[in-house]
């Protein structure tokens, strides 16, 4: 699971969900992550996503300034 920074506004509005979805799309585009690897989008209370990621993608996400944390699925 990848969670974004700037979680202060834990809004459940549709606008907040749309903004989270745009951020996910931006991260996937910037880091060249295939959209088919997306498992789930977290759009409301927490903002982020779950995806099948390579070790290289995980390292890139861990150093991305938009990302608060990357939690592996065991």
- pLDDT per residue as tens digits for the range 2-59: 999 876 566 678 888 899 999 999 999 999 999 999 999 999 888 999 999 999 999 9
What does the alpha-carbon distance between residue 18 and residue 58 come to, in Å, rounded to a whole number? 24
pLDDT of residue 50: 97
pLDDT of residue 10: 62
pLDDT of residue 28: 97
pLDDT of residue 11: 65
Distances (CA, A) of 30 to 6, 33, 60, 67: 19, 8, 10, 13
pLDDT of residue 70: 97
């Amino acid at each position: 699971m990848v969670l974004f920074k700037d979680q202060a506004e834990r809004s459940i509005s549709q606008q907040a969900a749309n903004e989270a979805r745009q951020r996910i799309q931006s991260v996937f585009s910037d880091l060249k992550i295939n959209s088919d690897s997306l498992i789930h989008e977290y759009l409301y209370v927490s903002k982020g996503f779950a995806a099948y990621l390579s070790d290289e993608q995980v390292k890139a996400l861990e150093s991305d300034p938009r990302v608060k944390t990357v939690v592996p699925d065991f």
